[in-house]
Amino acid sequence: MEASMGDDATLACADCGEPIDDPALERGYLFAEDQVLCYACAVARGGAYDELDDRWTAVPNLRGLFPDGDADFGSRGVAP
């Protein structure tokens, strides 16, 4: 019997939408408690993973991934 931690047993990458069964095994980057980035997206956003330490040493840019807006990340007024 599996322990349920939320509405869905399977997470999906907040960026590309790829299903992530186990972020710990697939090196997903967890954020905002119930969101996750797949490894490829996290790295593409500037994240760096230390395989020896088994942890993220550089945090990916999470801009635009929050459903309630990203005002906290100061994305407004930034020209591309």
Contact positions vs Zn ion (CB under 5 A): 13, 15-16, 18, 38, 41
Min dist. Cβ of residue 79 to Zn ion (A): 26
Min dist. Cβ of residue 74 to Zn ion (A): 23
Query: Closer CB to Zn ion, residue 11 or residue 38?
Result: 38
Query: Closer CB to Zn ion, residue 39 or residue 73?
Result: 39
- List the structure tokens of 60: 């990916």
From the list 49, 65, 66, the residue with the least C-alpha distance to 57 is 49
CA gap 28, 65 in Å, rounded: 15
